[in-house]
Chain A
């Protein structure tokens, strides 16, 4: 049972880190695209 706990902890860490990075760079892309559009319109 203890072995399962370590396994669960390991995969949780993997998916939290990968998920956080995946989502955060995705939202950053859309933010930057909006900013580029705004700056281009200003010009």
Chain B
């Protein structure tokens, strides 16, 4: 597992670099002040959550076509990591919202659809726990992994489709971001992508080891 260790160290290093860019390199936002700096890891977490659920979607389809349990292991692992990053989004969002909007929470379309996304994949993981038979579990979970992904584009486009107070930074021209802020954001997204890869490799290894133990124990 040399690759795993290299990836772990690289992920930790990249997160440290991302912290430097978020706290020191990026300039202070004039209106919001220090709290704006939470944006770099908040947005990166949201992108990784979307990407993780996309991986679950792709590997759920692959499992249904090929019936290879490795694909099911990857889908499950990615969904679990996606939930972790989605949880970070749902916690850091209100921490930013309180000083910026004056309230912890509002039923804004972006916030509401993100909460629904969290519940969909929490349901996906619960479903996996409730079904004992491996083949049935993998098939049912794959169906949820495919259908549940419908909410990801809804979350992404919610700020364009409906009236919302959520800031839109992913748009033509960078949403008015200072170039150094854009650099800090891109570094954070890259750091979180490396972290995601490290976590996925480790978590998929757990899933395959568990499968091996089940087969050895009969």
Contact = CB atoms under 8 A, between A and B. Distances in A.
B3 to A, nearest CB: 14
SS class, residues of chain B in contact with chain A: helix
Contacts of B217: 39
A39 B218 CA distance: 11
Q: How large is the interface on A (under 10, 10 to 19, 20 to 34, 35 or more residues)?
A: 20 to 34
Contact of B213 (A2, A10, A22, A35): A35
Interface string B78-92: 000000100110011
Given A14-B41, A21-B84, A39 B213 contact: yes
Interface size class of B (residues with CB under 8 A): 20 to 34
B213 A6 contact: no
Given A4-B34, A14-B41, A21-B199, A43 B209 contact: no
B84 A17 contact: yes
Interface of B: 32-35, 37-38, 41-42, 45, 84, 87-88, 91-92, 95-96, 98-99, 195, 199, 202-203, 205-206, 209-210, 212-213, 216-217
A4 B95 CA distance: 11
